[in-house]
Amino acid sequence: MTARLLDGRALAARIEQDVRAEVDTFAAMCGRAPRLVVVLVGDLAASGSYVKSKAAAAARVGIDSEVLRVPETCQTPDLVALVAAIARDEHGPADGILVQLPLPAHIDQVAVLDAVPPDRDVDGFHPQNAGLLSQGRPRFIPCTAAGVQRMLIDAGIPTAGRHAVVVGRSDIVGKPLALLLSARPPSGATADAAGCDATVTICHSRSADLAAITRQADILVAAVGRAGLITEEMVKPGAAVIDVGINRVQGRLVGDVAFAEVSRVAGWISPVPGGVGPLTVAMLLSNTLLAAELRLGRP
Predicted confidence (pLDDT) per residue in 22-71, tens digit: 999 999 999 999 999 999 999 887 888 889 999 999 999 999 999 999 99
Give the model confidence (pLDDT) of 130-167 as tens digits.
999 999 999 999 999 999 999 999 999 999 999 999 99
pLDDT at 287 over 60: yes
User: Do 32-118 and 142-276 share a fold?
Assistant: yes
pLDDT digits (tens, 9 = 90+) for 175-187: 999 999 999 998 8
Q: What's phi and psi for 155, nearest 5 deg?
A: -80, -5
Looking at domain 142-276, its CATH architecture is: 3-Layer(aba) Sandwich (3.40)
**Residue 199 and residue 164 in contact, taking contact as beta carbons nearer than 8 Å:** yes
* Complete edge-to-edge strand list for the sheet that includes strand 268-269: 4-5, 268-269, 240-243, 219-222, 163-167, 199-203
| pLDDT, mean of residues 283-298 | 92
Name the residue ranges covered by the structural domains of the chain: 32-118, 142-276
Q: Give tens-digit pLDDT for 76-109.
A: 999 999 999 999 999 999 999 999 999 999 999 9
Q: Is the pLDDT of residue 1 over 90?
A: no
Residues taking part in catalysis: 54, 100, 123
* Separation CA 173–CA 169 (nearest Å): 7
Query: CATH assignment of 32-118, given 3.30.565.10, 3.40.50.1980, 3.90.280.10, 3.40.50.10860?
Result: 3.40.50.10860
Q: What's the pTM value of the predicted model, to 2 decimals?
A: 0.96
Taking residues 212-221, report their average pLDDT. 98
